[in-house]
A and B are shown apart, each in its own frame.
Chain A
Amino acid sequence: MPTLETEVLVVGGGSTGAGVVRDAAMRGFSTVLVERGDLATGTTGRFHGLLHSGGRYAVKDPVAARECVVENAILRRIAADCIEDTGGLFVSTRWDDPAFGDEFLRGCRETGVPVDEVPVAEVLRREPRLDRGITRAFAVPDANLDPWKLVSACTRSASEHAARILPYHRLLGLEVHDGKVVGARVNNELTGEELEIRAELVINASGAWAGQIASLAGCVVTVLPGKGIMIAMNHRLVNTVVNRCKPPSDGDIIVPIRTVSVIGTTDVRVADPDELEVTPGEIDEMLDEGEKLVPGFREARALRVWAGARPLYTPEDVADTREVSRTHTVLDHAKRDGVEGFITITGGKTTTFRLMAEHAVDAACEKLGVVRECRTHEEPLPGSEEERFYWLGARVRAQEPVPNSEEIICECELITRSHLTEALAHGRPTGLDDVRRKVRLAMGPCQGGFCIYRATGVLHEFEHLDYRAANTALLDFLQERWKGVQPILHGDQFRQARLDDWIFQGLLAVEHLPQ
């Protein structure tokens, strides 16, 4: 069996794992990261994209709020390219107790969340779609954060510091000798080859899956996966992050991110983070709540729905996952379970991923008996050196002055042939869904109706696939897109699905493609 040697092995390729591997690599450790699928496909790739100001936690979870305040400011410096500075609002709608506004203001001031009460008239001018019955509004520095860009920037930076990033490497088992984790066996999911990785320290950064990973070393970690569903609407119904000014509840936020706006979310305790069913009741609830913020929301075009699993670590069993703090925890299994060489970092949220990584790597330094300073709060991520925020119009601007001079593969998200071939050349994707996350392929209104067959052609040519593999790539991606569209199919999106169906079934007869 081939063997790799490293000082630190990071398990999990979400934002936490990516943050940990970058931090550890920057502190001079030799590092390896393993992830069972593509990077940022778990919780990180399945959230609404909010960069928290801390406002959401100001009243009920002051620790989490304070962390958000600090990390929000740091990420604006180090990850500007992944952030669009939309600003955020907390609004009291006619369904919300206006008195909560005072509590909110007090909470923000106590936790340091920058907040300003703004006249409702001004808010309605800025966001004319919001319900006219809003009674109070507060501005906070919420923003949106592109999780795929973030993770990819972190792992790129880590690679520049000699880290090895191994997506599609599933952890089969942890090697425990004499009460110490000494390494892991992983399976290369693409080739089927097994690989042994010897490590001085294993950091379990697998979020909602942390319990499963910890159990491989015989440790019991209780992570309650809290399911949250999100719905992407076809365009930006608001250009500012809009939160309901009330205690955290279902459907209390709309995040404008890239070309869409995402409403979220729910919080339902589930047994398995890999089994996240979206029910019609949950969809209805989201749309109802959306209607309260933006009248006409139900008639607006919903593109797709998906669910993610929050990793909520709790020392004891709790019934309501909303009661669990959103802050994170570093567990040294030597102290806790008598297992050496093994750390778990879980809980937290994408906004605080860098701090989580810092704490995890601090613990690693302590365990490895070295003192090395964290620098991730100072050094910008690749692509963010100029500290310039992402701008929504960038892809349209890039097409000027002669638009369509290059072949556009995905019209909705304005992805050109060279965007695709670049992603294919540098991203080592294994299918169109991986390409999707790199460039946002097929994430617009037609959900792939017009670009999947084009992208398959590019993939076929670029990767020299045989026709069976190309057909499989096409069908897999169609299936993946359909999964998110199907539960929410109505109105305009239903008409779109009919047209897409005519294209793929009627013109291309995809069901009869040889695989």
Chain B
Amino acid sequence: MSELVRDSLDHCVKCTICESFCPYSRATPLFPGPKYVGPQAERFRRTGVSPDVSLDYCSGCGICTQVCPQGVKIAEINSQARAQLWEDRGIPLRNQLIARPSVLGRLGTPVAPLANWTLRNRPLRWLGERLLGVHRDAALPRFAGRTFQGWARKHVSPAAERTIVYFHACGTNYYEPAVGRMTVEVLEHNGFHVVVPPQDCCGLPLQSNGNFPAARGYVRRLAANLAPYARDGCAIVSNSTSCGLMLKREAREILEVADDDVAVVSEAMYDLCEFLLLLHQRGELRTDFKPLELTVPYHAPCQQQGHGIGKPALDLFALIPGLRAIELDADCCGIAGTYGLKKEKYEISMTVGERLFGQLRESKGDLAACDSETCRWQIEHGADIQAVHPVELLHRAYGLDAG
């Protein structure tokens, strides 16, 4: 247990603000709430035998840490305690499996039609629920059948004065390569030479499933690939807001990786919208946007909020003529990465998401925007509305579709 994170429990004055904001304890009696499992139960834990399994019902959304007025690292305490729990008990096969998106991606991509059929076949999903504990109704993405890396290898990014490094993460690589392509094109449109280094999973799903040793291995290897560019002064951007946060903060704070590569990468890391808004503030973002006559409800995912950068996507949308963005205030969509996939947590996940789904339905939007891939899949599943990354709208408004 990190002394830094654990020590923050000393700041807790029991005010209960975290409990009143937690979307999960509201949705299920099985999760006793962030104050309970965080600064409170932590005083009863010592390494060896974890006393509480209920803390596994924490999704790790991190809202508690964000709202704590005293600076208690509640979500981080929970995350570390969960890792201890699974170290004591052994990680279930299901959690080992769904926490390795790049392994699944490599397996699924070559046989995408079959894999996609399998993942949408009711009897097989029923079987998957029985055998693996992945809920039969949980939203699973479709394998694209080709990878973003494959596209990037063939793509020649035009030479430019400024170079930027793109960390696309697994979701883009295996499921949404188009989002990756659009990201690259938007960056190139703004005068960047885009480098896509070889990269694997950042370890985030392993971290949220309590397998810290494996997660550390992944994030170290990833950071080693990215670090040389960061040392050269290149910024690194990611459209995957949660995986970006892993590199920015969580690898150091939760996994406690004290590694030069991770440190230098974390300094260079930007969320894609954060970076584009920064460009705009410096007067360097091209604003040759064509009007988009669209109503777009926007959901800022929890992990994006964890960056502590506000909601830059909304500022960017304001630059697009005709675009009517609606800021939604529902807190969490319920998926929390792999949480909502689990048999025992699916219903909770859908209950948590209900407020967001309701707002999305009421918004009568043409499509929804959201920075996180798993949240978009959950939104499409729960609210039956197409959900896109903000960069897709920028890409469209720049008219890059046609070109």
Residues of chain B with a CB closer than 8 A to A380's CB: none
Residues of chain A with a CB closer than 8 A to B46's CB: 236, 239, 392-393
Distance in Å from the Cβ of B267 to the closest Cβ of chain A?
A: 26
Contact with B along A475-501 (1 / 0, CB 8 A): 000000000000000001001100100
Residues of chain A with a CB closer than 8 A to B40's CB: 411-412, 414
Summarize A's interface: helix, strand, loop or mixed: loop
Residues of chain A with a CB closer than 8 A to B52's CB: 393, 396-397, 399-400, 403
Is A276 close to B, CB under 8 A? no
- The number of residues on chain A lying at the interface, defined by a beta carbon within 8 Å of a beta carbon of chain B, is 37
A401 to B54, CA, bound (A): 7
Residues of chain A with a CB closer than 8 A to B44's CB: 259, 392-393, 395-396, 414
Check if A300 sits within 8 Å of B14, measured CB to CB.
no
Residues of chain A with a CB closer than 8 A to B294's CB: none
Is A129 close to B, CB under 8 A? yes
Contact with A along B29-55 (1 / 0, CB 8 A): 110110110011111111101111110
Is B10 close to A, CB under 8 A? yes
Segment of A66-74, A148-156, A420-428, A445-453 engaged in the interface with chain B: A445-453
Q: Out of B14, B32, B33, B54, which one reaches A450, CB within 8 Å?
A: B14
Across the interface, name the chain A residue whose C-beta is closest to B35. Answer: A411
Residues of chain A with a CB closer than 8 A to B41's CB: 396
Contact residues, A205-242 vs B (CB, 8 A): 234-236, 239
Contact A492 B30, CB 8 Å, known A128-B3, A396-B44, A403-B52? no
Check if A301 sits within 8 Å of B33, measured CB to CB.
no
Is B284 close to A, CB under 8 A? no
Is B83 close to A, CB under 8 A? no
Is B386 close to A, CB under 8 A? no
Across the interface, name the chain A residue whose C-beta is closest to B44. Answer: A396
Check if A393 sits within 8 Å of B49, measured CB to CB.
yes
Contact with B along A380-422 (1 / 0, CB 8 A): 0000000000011111110111111100000110100000000
Across the interface, name the chain A residue whose C-beta is closest to B52. Answer: A396
Check if B43 sits within 8 Å of A495, measured CB to CB.
no
Contact A234 B36, CB 8 Å, known A392-B46, A401-B53? no
Contact residues, A351-400 vs B (CB, 8 A): 391-397, 399-400
Residues of chain B with a CB closer than 8 A to A128's CB: 3
Contact with B along A244-273 (1 / 0, CB 8 A): 000000000000000110000000000000
Across the interface, name the chain B residue whose C-beta is closest to A300. Answer: B10
Contact residues, A308-345 vs B (CB, 8 A): none
Across the interface, name the chain A residue whose C-beta is closest to B41. Answer: A396
A96 to B44, CA, bound (A): 32
Contact A393 B51, CB 8 Å, known A235-B43, A236-B43? yes
Contact residues, B334-355 vs A (CB, 8 A): none
Across the interface, name the chain B residue whose C-beta is closest to A396. Answer: B51
Check if A235 sits within 8 Å of B10, measured CB to CB.
yes
Contact A397 B10, CB 8 Å, known A236-B43, A411-B40? no
A129 to B1, CA, bound (A): 11
Contact with B along A13-42 (1 / 0, CB 8 A): 000000000000000000000000000000
Residues of chain A with a CB closer than 8 A to B51's CB: 391-394, 396-397, 400
Is A112 close to B, CB under 8 A? no
Residues of chain B with a CB closer than 8 A to A234's CB: 9-10, 43
Is B402 close to A, CB under 8 A? no
A225 to B218, CA, bound (A): 61
Residues of chain B with a CB closer than 8 A to A260's CB: 43
Is A444 close to B, CB under 8 A? yes
Is B11 close to A, CB under 8 A? yes
Check if A495 sits within 8 Å of B53, measured CB to CB.
no
Contact with A along B294-336 (1 / 0, CB 8 A): 0000000000000000000000000000000000000000000
Across the interface, name the chain A residue whose C-beta is closest to B9. Answer: A235
Check if A495 sits within 8 Å of B13, measured CB to CB.
yes
Residues of chain A with a CB closer than 8 A to B35's CB: 411
Q: Out of B3, B6, B13, B33, which one reaches A496, CB within 8 Å?
A: B13
Residues of chain A with a CB closer than 8 A to B49's CB: 391, 393
Check if A235 sits within 8 Å of B54, measured CB to CB.
no
A116 to B14, CA, bound (A): 42
Is B7 close to A, CB under 8 A? yes
Is B27 close to A, CB under 8 A? no
A492 to B70, CA, bound (A): 9
Contact A396 B45, CB 8 Å, known A300-B10, A449-B14? yes
Contact residues, B3-19 vs A (CB, 8 A): 3, 6-7, 9-15
A301 to B10, CA, bound (A): 6
Check if A404 sits within 8 Å of B33, measured CB to CB.
yes
A391 to B50, CA, bound (A): 11
Residues of chain B with a CB closer than 8 A to A399's CB: 32, 52, 54
A391 to B3, CA, bound (A): 22
Check if B10 sits within 8 Å of A492, measured CB to CB.
yes
Check if B10 sits within 8 Å of A400, measured CB to CB.
no
Across the interface, name the chain A residue whose C-beta is closest to B45. Answer: A393
Distance in Å from the Cβ of B2 to the closest Cβ of chain A?
A: 10
A394 to B10, CA, bound (A): 22
Residues of chain B with a CB closer than 8 A to A495's CB: 11, 13, 70
Distance in Å from the Cβ of A215 to the closest Cβ of chain B?
A: 45
Contact A445 B14, CB 8 Å, known A400-B53, A412-B40? yes
Across the interface, name the chain B residue whose C-beta is closest to A405. Answer: B29
Residues of chain A with a CB closer than 8 A to B43's CB: 234-236, 259-260, 412, 444
Residues of chain B with a CB closer than 8 A to A404's CB: 29, 32-33, 36
* 7 contacting pairs across A/B (C-beta < 8 A): A235-B10, A235-B42, A397-B51, A400-B54, A401-B54, A403-B54, A412-B14
Closest 5 CB pairs of A and B: A393-B51, A403-B32, A301-B10, A396-B51, A259-B43
B residues contacting A by CB (< 8 A) are: 3, 6-7, 9-15, 29-30, 32-33, 35-36, 39-47, 49-54, 70
Instruction: Give 14 A-B pairs besides A400-B51, A402-B54, A444-B43 with Cβ atoms closer than 8 angstroms.
Output: A234-B9, A239-B46, A301-B10, A391-B51, A396-B52, A400-B53, A401-B30, A401-B54, A411-B14, A411-B40, A412-B14, A414-B40, A492-B10, A499-B14
A residues contacting B by CB (< 8 A) are: 128-129, 234-236, 239, 259-260, 296, 300-301, 391-397, 399-405, 411-412, 414, 444-446, 449-450, 492, 495-496, 499
